Amino acid sequence: MPPIVRMSRSSGVSWRRVCLLIVCVVLAGVQSGFAQSDREESDPSGSDDFGKYEQMSSKATGTPPNGLTDDSTLATHPQKPDESLCERGEEGHRRATTYGNELLKMNELQKAEACFLSALKHKNDFPMALYGLGEVHVASSRYTLAVDAYELAVRTWPQYVDAFVALGDVHLKMRKRKKAEKSYQQAVDVGKEDPLAWEALGRFYLHDDVRKYWQAHVTYKRAALAVQNGRSSPGLILGLAEAAKGARKFEDCVAKADRASSLAPRFGNAKFIAGSCRASLGDLTGAIPNFRDAVRIDPEEVKHHISLAKSLVGVKMSEQAREVLMGAVEVFSDASDDDAIVTLSRELEKVKGGDNTKSDL
């Protein structure tokens, strides 16, 4: 994977990290509620987030932040597991959180939740455990509980960029666009040099439910100036290409997507965007190599296969288009991806009429 800005979401505190968090936070103490642990622990995870949080909290002064309380919906909801499900729940807040993250990666959601709750019994304002609870509830489609968890995480650690981004993601899933935008903007405000924050805000403006392409353009331009080496970041440059595509400035899109691709030759989405904009300009012959590269680099993306097939149909190469789609069906059959198979099979039927049959792939 090329050194680009966040392209996907992974598990635990490190899921969203493309670069280190830029943090400066005032934290302290604990609230009443879950019992706290005074024991000293070594950091078993090597997590930069853990280390930075502990470093900042050791310098904290002032009023303690709010933490998880016994009467919180996060601690009382009907599906809440018993903390005893966490095998490392008695080992302290950091070890329990680290184990919860590992379980989350394996989709062991109940056990992961038990570990995060166990961590919060030791330290009820530990933001990484609150973030983990948010991830569990998102994976379980309990979005209101996820919002509660992420909001607590940023209340206890106001510099927590990942949690602001996650909060924006959940609001967007719930179609609360104003709240989503506010959360992404807060991520930028506390992480001015963090590409994760800028990318999240830019992606929000590019989202199909938002489509504010000029604001996306401005966001990626600002990001290029704020982020270290931002002007040569393939991810930020591709963001500008996608903003140009949305604004139907296809030539500009091609130029920027090609540049992103040249900086990161294994950047499959850059190849795809370049091909899409060439196709929009009517240059299907030029788009086909882009789409072939996108399929080769990221074969798990259905849209890459379909776009290649569409371009082949457009240049009267329907037989090759059928081969592309049949090969894609095999790929996704091996992955047991039924939704992808249905989509590809539907498109394959549209091509089977031959060269003279119009396809709306």
Amino acid letter, residue 186: Q
Q: How far apart are CA 158 and CA 28, in angstroms?
A: 12
> Domain boundaries in the chain?
1-185
Task: Look at residue 355 in the predicted model and tell me its pLDDT.
Answer: 45
Q: What is the pLDDT of residue 20?
A: 34
Which single residue is written with the structure tokens 């706290």? 36
> What's the rounded Cα separation, in Å, for the pair 323 and 312?
11
Class of domain 1-185 as given by CATH: mainly alpha
State the distance between the two ends of the chain, measured CA to CA, in whole angstroms. 28
Q: What local confidence, expressed as pLDDT, does residue 19 receive?
A: 38
| Ranges of the chain whose pLDDT falls below 50 | 1-46, 58-64, 355-361
pTM of the model: 0.79
The reported pLDDT for the residue numbered 303 is 96
**Total residue count of the chain as it appears in this document:** 361
Whole-angstrom distance, CA of residue 112 vs CA of residue 352: 48
What pLDDT does 352 receive? 76
**What's the confidence (pLDDT) of residue 191?**
95
**pLDDT score recorded for residue 108:** 97
- What is the pLDDT at residue 47? 54
Q: Give the per-residue pLDDT at 42.
A: 37
Query: What is the reported pLDDT for 298?
Result: 95
Alpha helices (H) along the chain: 48-57, 73-76, 93-105, 109-122, 127-139, 143-156, 161-173, 177-190, 195-206, 213-226, 234-246, 250-263, 268-280, 284-297, 302-314, 318-334, 338-351
The answer to whether 227 touches 3, Cβ cutoff 8 Å, is no
| Residue 336, pLDDT score | 86
Q: What is the pLDDT of residue 66?
A: 75
Distance CA 43, CA 93 (A): 10
